[in-house]
Structure 1
Amino acid sequence: MSGIDFTCNQFTGEIPPEIGKLSHIHALNLSHNNFSGAIPTTFSNLTQLDSLDLSYNNLKGKIPSQLVELNSLTVFSVAQNDLSGKTPDRKGQFATFEASSYEGNPLLCGSPLNNSCNEIGSHLPAPDGPVNQEGDSWLDMDAFYWSFIASYLTILLGIVLVLYINPYWRRTWSTSLKCA
């Protein structure tokens, strides 16, 4: 097999790491899908690979540093994903790839990109901060619960205060409780 082209197939989920066992392929194009997760480190086993295109997906995490071992690679693109961290070292074939191979990943840094890793690191959230396990949500559940409790107590105290101040309503309230 000389290549695999799964462009524009609306695939979802993580890229199967088993693709890294296909050691005789020369081209792998998984662009324009909805793949998520990390780039499998097993891709470093694709030693005969000439072209690797993972652009226009939802890939996250770092670009595996092991990919610099792909000495035959002439085309490489991870553009328009959500990758972060430092770009692979500029050695071997990776010294030939331009910034366009990495564009559309605002949290990537290092050469050949114009942003240094020190600048990017200062804008990242603290790694030990809370992580939203339920996915991206516009509603912060802790804030919701606290505001609900505060609203409930405010209404309850308002009713008690009105009954304490107004004797007519207090009598009406106590009479309605006796009849029930």
Structure 2
Amino acid sequence: MEFVTKTHLYTYNGVILSLIYGLDLSRNNFTGKIPTEVGQLDYIKVLNLSHNKFTGDIPSSIANLSQIESLDLSHNNLSGVVPHQLMDLYSLSSFSVAYNNLSGTCPQMIAQFNTFDQSSYEGNPFLNCTLPLMTTNPSVGHTTSDDDDDNNDGEGGFIDMESFYASESISYVMVLLITASILYINPYWRRVWFYYGGVTITTSYYFMVHYLPLSARYKVWEPRI
């Protein structure tokens, strides 16, 4: 593998490739089949081969990438089926084979594949998937599932902001009332409160006078001896 940076050419091979944690080769014009050697990238966590012109089957050797967390093979010309061996990728949290020429059935919705919706497989007209369809709600600008529509009817989202602000305001007022009540009932705490309040104000004033360029009209006049 070669990388060109300004006038320098860097070549990586052997052990270096097996230590790569992320590989993004998206949006190029790569053709041919995805090499089976990709399964030798033992420590890789992110692999993005999207928006190329790869053809042929998805190599089952990808199932050897036991630590991979994100796999994007979308927007290619891949054919065949989605290898069932990919079900063994238990660390996988992001997966897409959308917009290819895949056929057969989608992986079973178990384990980590239960978290992937239809957007991971869309654009494959011969791929049979029974998955919840994800739709975009234009009024709120986020993606929701058809299964959640009944639960979200009449709601403005997970948090009602008006109720949130109201509860925060009530909590703030309650803290002030409780503090004032304690200071009114207990004279000891009242003296301590005002003592430390005066010390804090005095310390803050002399700190600003000493370290900050304050105007003369903000400084206390001190008589000369």
| Short-chain TM bin | 0.5 to 0.7
Deviation at 1:65, TM superposition (A): 0.3
2:107 corresponds to which residue? 88
Moved over 2 A (4+): none
> Any conservation in 1 of the 2:118–2:129 contact (CA below 8 Å)?
no
Tell me the SS of whatever aligns to 1:10: coil
Report sequence identity in percent: 54
Given the alignment of the two structures, is residue 57 of structure 1 paired with residue 79 of structure 2, yes or no?
no
Q: Which runs of 5+ in 2 are unaligned?
A: 1-19, 134-225
Map 1:131-142 onto structure 2 (within 5 A). none
Greater Rg by CA = 2
2-structure distance, mates of 1:35, 1:78: 12
2:120 is aligned, of 59, 77, 101, to 101
Superposition RMSD in Å? 1.1
Q: Which runs of 5+ in 1 are unaligned?
A: 115-180
Deviation at 1:112, TM superposition (A): 1.2
2:85 is aligned, of 66, 73, 85, to 66
1:5 is aligned, of 18, 24, 30, to 24
Determine which structure has greater relative contact order: mean sequence separation of CA pairs < 8 Å that are 6+ residues apart, divided by chain length: 1
1:28 corresponds to which residue? 47
2:64 corresponds to which residue? 45
Residues 46 and 93 from structure 1, CA distance in 2 versus in 1: closer, same or farther, beyond 3 angstroms? same
2-structure distance, mates of 1:34, 1:21: 22
2-structure distance, mates of 1:38, 1:103: 17
Deviation at 1:111, TM superposition (A): 2.4
2-structure distance, mates of 1:101, 1:86: 13
Given the alignment of the two structures, is residue 19 of structure 1 paired with residue 38 of structure 2, yes or no?
yes
Q: How many residues align?
A: 114
